[in-house]
Structures are given as C-alpha cells and as structure tokens.
Structure 1
C-alpha cells in the first residue's frame, strides 16, 4: 500500500498513464495475416492488441506469431499470409486490467508485462498502460516529493528498537 502522499503525487500524473485506444495500432481478429503483417512491420511494436467486431480485446499479436506459420524446413511460405487470419495465430491468454484497477495490482502485473490492455466493465478496449509510462510517473514522484512535502527520517523509539531486536533474536528449532 502506498502512503497517501505518494499516492496523491502519482494521481497527479494518472491522466498520463493510459495511452488511449485511438492512439494504439490494433488489428481485428478476422483480418488476414497479410494486413496484420503490414501493420506490425510499419509500427514496430513488439505486440499489438487484437479486437473483435464489438471492440472487445480478444488477443495479442506479435510479428513472430505471424511469421512462425510461414517458416517451413524447405522454404518461406508467404501464401499463409492470405489464407490465415489473425484469430488463427493470436495469443489468447494475457493479462488485462479494468479502467478502475488499483495501482498496486497494475504494478504487480507490469513486472511481467511491458504493457497491459485496459478495458471497461464490458471488456471494451480503452487503451494500454505501459511500464514506461508508469516509470515516468514514479520518476516524477521521486523528483517532486520534497517539493510538496517535508521529508524527514523517522525517529525510532526505544520501545520500537527493543521490539525489533527481540524479533531478530527469535530462533526456530
């Protein structure tokens, strides 16, 4: 749990956390792989969201997912780009968050994900939360905390020290 002061500073930048859906390259699950291949090679993202016809996120797609079916032991078969769809190769298990998600949970998930798709309660895609944007916000907090608050070291009472020392000396047999 964050201290109220730190959380307040983070919330000052909260509007900057989520990159809105209108600024994100996406593909539809029924798009041919050729279309997705062209998009991924132009935008140079590692993965992009896959949406269904109702704008709900149903998967993630990477260039490797597209090229893998093209590679055989004998040749590179580009015909699959026109015969297969995004749905055939997309990743269907992935972490996502609700717009109302707690910061602690977002941070926990961002340890293993470069970005998290953000959805509303109907699973409609709202945008992405990137590890980069959150790190930028923590950088802001690190630089602004003492501008907003008087930061002083905690003083340790003798009672606290004694309790802490007793806990350290306990051994389990």
Structure 2
C-alpha cells in the first residue's frame, strides 16, 4: 500500500537516517524560531560518529567539487536533524526558503554553486518542490576548524 509522500516518508524511502544533532560550537542556538520561520545555524560537516569534522581543506586544492558537494549534503542532513529536534517532525516544514553556502576556496576556484548543490539536491529529494529555495554560494578564505564548507538554512514551518 502506498503511503502519502511526506518529507518523513521520503527520507525513509531514500534510506536516510539523520545524524545526532551536533552541539553548538559557540554561544549560539542550533536553531531559532521566529513566527513561522525556523533559522538553522550554519552547519559544518561533522564526522559520522560526531567526534569532529569530516574533512579539512579548500576546494580547488585538497578537496574536489564532488567531495565538497558530499560535505554540503552532510551539512544539510545535520540541519534536518536540527529541524526534527525543534519541530518533532520534518512534516511540519512548509518549504525551504533560503540556503546560504560558504565554500573555503583556493585561489582561482569558482565552482561554489556546484559544491552547494550537494545541500540543495538533498532538500529537493526530501521536500520535493517545497525544497526549491533561494540561495547564495560564496567563496571564503577560511571556515571554522579548517572545514571546506558551511551551510545555513531558513525554513517556513507550521
């Protein structure tokens, strides 16, 4: 019997288990709700066991575009874990409003959008058209702990 296509069902259909919510690395909250908007703090890619960062380095030097996209996807998975912890279910997300991606870049690297596509594709896979969002992909000199990518999110929620 087919079930309703909700974000929680899509996640299960994709065989994805969300990671534990990573603890804040500073004096901030993992997410803040204001009215029907949920702002999720910037996520850096954590190792699968949560023990530290998944990778260090810069795009265009030690990290390939494909590796960077996979790390951006990890950031999105962590963000969804934060959303579920805050709301109880991803089914309470009405739409993904905005994604801001920051890419630690070696000189001359210009494929920032391709890297952040890793996060964007996951959101489309989980939320369908409600996952299509406004976005910025920015190259930066350095990110916390030397990670290659950091991504922040804004969701409209019920």
Query: TM-score, with normalisation over the residues of structure 1?
Result: 0.25
Q: Which has the higher contact order (CA 8 A, sep 6+)?
A: 2
Structure with more strand by fraction: 2
Larger-gyration structure (1/2): 1
